[in-house]
Amino acid sequence: MGNCGTREEAAVVNAQVVQQLSSLPSSSVKSDKIKQQNHSRSISDLSDPSTPRNFEDARKNAVLYTHVIAFTLFELETITKSFRSDYILGEGGFGTVYKGYIDENVRVGLKSLPVAVKVLNKEGLQGHREWLTEVNFLGQLRHPNLVKLIGYCCEDDHRLLVYEFMFRGSLENHLFRKATVPLSWSRRMLIALGAAKGLAFLHNAERPVIYRDFKTSNILLDSDYTAKLSDFGLAKAGPQGDETHVSTRVMGTYGYAAPEYVMTGHLTARSDVYSFGVVLLELLTGRKSVDKTRPSKEQNLVDWARPKLNDKRKLLQIIDPRLDQYSTRAAQKACSLAYYCLSQNPKARPLMSDVVETLEPLQTCNDPSESSLGGPFAMSRLPDYRMRQRFSNNVGPGAICRSPNPNISPGGPAACRVR
């Protein structure tokens, strides 16, 4: 059959298109068990020498793509040089991702833009339904902290997605690849804030969306380190009305999934908050959520680190040793935020909107090398942002991170509001 869904050159994904695409058969079956971490290269790990390096022009052109385009298979073969192996950006459960470049040579009227083309692996565990989920959600949702879906292709049994190209690749590579320069404290907090804004937008949508697969490999970075959420194949529409949760098969990535979701299959927005807490902990410690190369007691990051997050003697011991300069007060507040996000009790976790509000003051506490704050412990510009406790019975003793530095006043408890 020909290109499915629509034949218009600039097709907007609407309810009719989604319904039409939904009627297509799925060529693969989902796995019920949580995916083990088995990443090779991630989206945007590589870059094409021919890809334009004018980041600002690319960003401006990306804004012009307000509608999702139905591409032909021939067009996507053209921009990836017939899916040449040296154009591969990464591989995952969905399939292979290739770099490409669209412009008027591909189709009249298209603005010049580097893109990433994700090709469904027909033999893989993730199939048509995940592809359709991405088209459905990203085709209708637009936010600066979500990767923009430029278009899709559906011809015969071929399923492809076209995204804006993210020049700096995944957060996973910046944190864990030994060859990369360690991210500074300010950039880590910037990334945490951007990712939090993306999740908050999803949770506060007219029909809430639960992301369900929040992890470092799904957080991509633009040229200015703007964090954007990618890979919406496991996203689910959230509960509505009197519903308290969505019952679903347990899927996600081991080490990031909330414990109550793993045990019951009950999915809520607080499940995403837990996953955010894991990623925040990875940003703070520079450690992976699960690392089998470490001693047995340190292999699970949450089990190892969470008890230390509210211990004034141990808090700074878990901070990434590659971070030379950072504010102790900012570290204290970020650690306390992670502590609450990782609560075993979902109701004790903050809302993502509260997480955003907590992280915003920390953006002013930059590294001395990148600002004029006057040193790593300068506090004058960091607001004394007080925590509002709303579930006093749900919070264990010693939940407030105290200053690990005796020379700094302990008067500023962590910036975390709990609902």
Domains of the chain in sequence order: 15-164 (3.30.200.20), 171-394 (1.10.510.10)
Beta-carbon contacts of 407 under 8 Å, excluding residues fewer than 6 positions away, are none
213 is a catalytic site residue: yes
Residues 6+ positions from 22 with CB-CB distance below 8 Å: 132
Is there a contact between 399 and 310 (Cβ–Cβ < 8 Å)?
yes
pLDDT in tens, 349-383: 999 999 999 999 998 765 444 443 333 323 333 33
Query: Of residues 136 and 320, which shows the higher confidence score?
Result: 320
Q: What is the DSSP letter of 363?
A: G
Closest CA to 219 of 237, 194, 238, 200: 194
Query: For residues 416 and 12, what is the distance between their CA atoms, to the nearest angstrom?
Result: 40
Higher pLDDT, 367 or 97: 97
Neighbours of 48 (CB within 10 A): 16
| CB 233 within 8 Å of CB 291 | no
pLDDT digits (tens, 9 = 90+) for 158-198: 999 999 999 999 999 999 988 778 999 999 999 999 999 99
Task: Say which residues have a Cβ less than 8 Å from residue 363's Cβ, sequence separation at least 6.
Answer: 186, 189, 190, 193
| Alpha carbon separation from 220 to 35, 131, 250 (Å, rounded) | 20, 19, 24
Give pLDDT, residue 361: 93
User: Would you state the torsion angle of the CA atoms of residues 358, 185, 333, 383, taken in this order, to the nearest 10 degrees?
Assistant: -60
Per the annotation, does 118 bind a ligand? Answer: yes
Is 209 or 399 the better-scoring residue by pLDDT? 209
Residue length of the chain: 419
Tell me the C-alpha to C-alpha distance, in Å, between residue 204 and each of 135, 322, 361.
Answer: 20, 36, 21
Kindly give the residue spans of alpha helices, DSSP state H, lying in 90-160.
Answer: 128-140
From the candidates 48, 103, 156, 213, give the one annotated as an active-site residue. 213
- Where do runs of H (alpha helix) occur along 247-380? 259-264, 269-285, 301-305, 328-341, 352-359
Q: Give strand pairing partners of 114.
A: 101
